[in-house]
Amino acid sequence: MKRLMLSLVLVLISVAAWSQQQDACALKPPKGADVALVEYEDLQCPDCARAAPLMQEAARTYKIPHVRRDFPLQKHSWARQAAILARFFDTKSKKIGDDFRNYIYSNQAQITPENLRSFAEKFAEERKLALPLVVDPQGELDRKVAADLACGARNNVQHTPTIYVVGNNEAGTPFVEVVDRSELFRMIDDMKRQAAASRKKPGSPANLSVR
């Protein structure tokens, strides 16, 4: 009986962990947002560097979250280590982490596996931050990068950048991939309209009265 109970507990733990991973991989806005941008990026990818200013402009213009997920490609020699470094700077603040990613993009052409650390040290020094000799001693940051890669594979990501406009829509399209970036702003407008219509739909959670 005890063995049966233990087995049931282990199964429940496994199911809960699987459900949590599924939720983490879902293409949907962060809690509290109706619309967001979700981007799978590779810091060594030239097209990601070209897309970065547009992504920042869109997030700033529409005041929506820009969710950045790591998807370093195997063919890129320093992309995964750069993602780990970005995760380290995330621990200081999300803004510092995002600033580091944009800093890497702006210097991408000069970066090699051998000098990546020097660029990170310079970035840290300019912000009066200490960059430890080993930034990920327990492998925790690398596991977060691996989790993003697994989510990307689950979402059938095959290239970088892969960009989605996502919304909390009960009806209509919950997410759409941005294939033509010149259409990005129009796609955000469409998703915001769908999200607004979903909020106004009779019987939706936002329209239920509390008695």
Q: Kindly tell me if the per-residue pLDDT of 85 is higher than 70.
A: yes
Q: What does the pLDDT average to over 75-80?
A: 98
Is-contact 28 37, C-beta < 8 A? no
pLDDT at position 17, please?
A: 36
Contacts of 102 (CB under 8 A, 6+ apart): 52, 56
Q: pLDDT band at 201, cuts 50/70/90? A: low
Q: In this structure, is residue 57 part of a structural domain? A: yes
Per-residue model confidence as pLDDT tens digits over 182-193: 999 999 999 999
Q: In this structure, is residue 122 part of a structural domain? A: yes
Q: pLDDT band at 169, cuts 50/70/90? A: confident
Q: pLDDT band at 195, cuts 50/70/90? A: confident
Q: pLDDT band at 209, cuts 50/70/90? A: very low
Which residue type, as a one-letter code, is found at position 179? V
Q: In this structure, is residue 150 part of a structural domain? A: yes
Q: In this structure, is residue 22 part of a structural domain? A: no
Q: Kindly tell me if the per-residue pLDDT of 4 is higher than 50.
A: no
What are the DSSP calls for 124-164, one per residue? HHHTT----SSS-TTSHHHHHHHHHHHHHHHTT--SSSEEE
Backbone angles phi, psi at 25, to 5 degrees: -85, -10
Q: In this structure, is residue 7 part of a structural domain? A: no
Instruction: Return the H-helix or E-strand segment holding 203.
Output: none
Q: In this structure, is residue 2 part of a structural domain? A: no
Q: What is the mean pLDDT of the chain?
A: 87
Per-residue model confidence as pLDDT tens digits over 13-61: 333 333 344 478 999 999 999 999 999 999 999 999 999 999 999 999 9
pLDDT at position 197, please?
A: 85
Q: In this structure, is residue 20 part of a structural domain? A: no
Q: What is this structure's pTM?
A: 0.83
If one counts the domains in the chain, the total is 1
Per-residue model confidence as pLDDT tens digits over 121-147: 999 999 999 999 999 999 999 999 999
Q: In this structure, is residue 144 part of a structural domain? A: yes
Q: Beta strands 66-70 and 175-177: pairing type?
A: unpaired
Domain limits for position 81: 30-207
Q: Residue 180: which CATH number?
A: 3.40.30.10
